[in-house]
Homo-oligomer: A and B are copies of this chain.
Amino acid sequence: MDSKVLDLIGQKEFLLLKDELKKIRSIDIAEAFSELDKKDTVILFRLLQKDKAAEVFSHLTYQQRMEIMAAMNETQLKEILKELFFDDKIDFLEEMPSNAVKRILATTTDEERKLINQFLKYPENSAGSLMTIEYVDLKKEMTVGEALDYIKKIGMSKETIYTCYVLNEKRKLEGIVSLRKLVLSDENLLIKEIMERDIVLTHTMDDQEEVASLFKKYDFIALPVVDKENRLVGIITIDDIVDVIDRVATKDFQRMAAMGPAEEEYLHTDVFTLARQRTPWLLTLMLSATFTGGIISKYESVLEAIVTLNIFIPMLMDSAGNAGTQSSTLIIRGLALGNIQISDYLKVLWKELRVSSLVGFILATVNFFRVIIIEKVSINIALTVSVTLFFTVILAKVVGGLLPVIAKKLKTDPAIMAGPLITTIVDALALIVYFNIAHLMLGI
Interface residues of A (CB under 8 A from B): 23, 25, 27, 148, 151-152, 155-156, 161-162, 179-180, 183-184, 198, 215-219, 221, 238-239, 241-243, 245-246, 249-250, 252-254, 256-259, 262, 265-267, 271-272, 274-275, 278-279, 281-283, 285-287, 289-290, 292-294, 296-297, 300, 303-304, 307-308, 310-315, 317-319, 321-323, 325-326, 328-334, 337, 339-340, 344, 347-348, 351, 354-355, 358-359, 362-363, 366-367, 370, 374-375, 389, 393, 419-420, 423-424, 427-428, 431
Q: For the complex, give the distance between the alpha carbons of A424 and B315 in Å.
A: 9
**Which residue of B151, B290, B322 is within 8 Å of A183 (Cβ)?**
B151
Q: For the complex, give the distance between the alpha carbons of A256 and B69 in Å.
A: 42
Q: Collect the chain B residues with CB atoms within 8 Å of residue A283's CB.
A: 362-363, 366
Q: Collect the chain B residues with CB atoms within 8 Å of residue A286's CB.
A: 315, 318-319, 363, 366-367, 389
Secondary structure type dominating chain A contacts: helix
Q: Collect the chain B residues with CB atoms within 8 Å of residue A271's CB.
A: 351, 354-355, 358
Which of A156, A310, A362 counts the most B-chain CB atoms under 10 A from its CB? A310
The answer to whether residues A427 and B314 also contact, given A162-B180, A333-B250 and a CB cut-off of 8 A, is yes
Q: Collect the chain B residues with CB atoms within 8 Å of residue A330's CB.
A: 254, 257, 259, 262, 266
Q: Collect the chain B residues with CB atoms within 8 Å of residue A256's CB.
A: 253, 329
Q: Is the CB of A337 within 8 A of B246?
A: yes
**Which residue of B151, B303, B347, B420 is within 8 Å of A325 (Cβ)?**
B420
Q: Collect the chain B residues with CB atoms within 8 Å of residue A333's CB.
A: 250, 253-254
Which of A219, A267, A314, A424 counts the most B-chain CB atoms under 10 A from its CB? A314
CB distance from A335 to the nearest CB of B (A): 10
Q: For the complex, give the distance between the alpha carbons of A278 and B396 in Å.
A: 13
Q: Collect the chain B residues with CB atoms within 8 Å of residue A307's CB.
A: 300, 303-304
CB distance from A243 to the nearest CB of B (A): 8
A-B contacts, 7 of them at CB < 8 A, read A155-B184, A242-B245, A250-B337, A252-B253, A256-B329, A286-B315, A313-B313
**Which residue of B267, B294, B340, B351 is within 8 Å of A340 (Cβ)?**
B267
Q: Collect the chain B residues with CB atoms within 8 Å of residue A420's CB.
A: 318, 321-322, 325, 419
Smallest CB gap from A292: residue in B: B314
Q: Is the CB of A275 within 8 A of B315?
A: no
Q: For the complex, give the distance between the alpha carbons of A152 and B184 in Å.
A: 5
**Which residue of B289, B323, B332, B419 is within 8 Å of A282 (Cβ)?**
B323
Q: Is the CB of A322 within 8 A of B281?
A: yes
Q: For the complex, give the distance between the alpha carbons of A219 and B240 in Å.
A: 9
CB distance from A213 to the nearest CB of B (A): 11
Q: Collect the chain B residues with CB atoms within 8 Å of residue A366's CB.
A: 283, 286-287
Q: Is the CB of A289 within 8 A of B326?
A: no
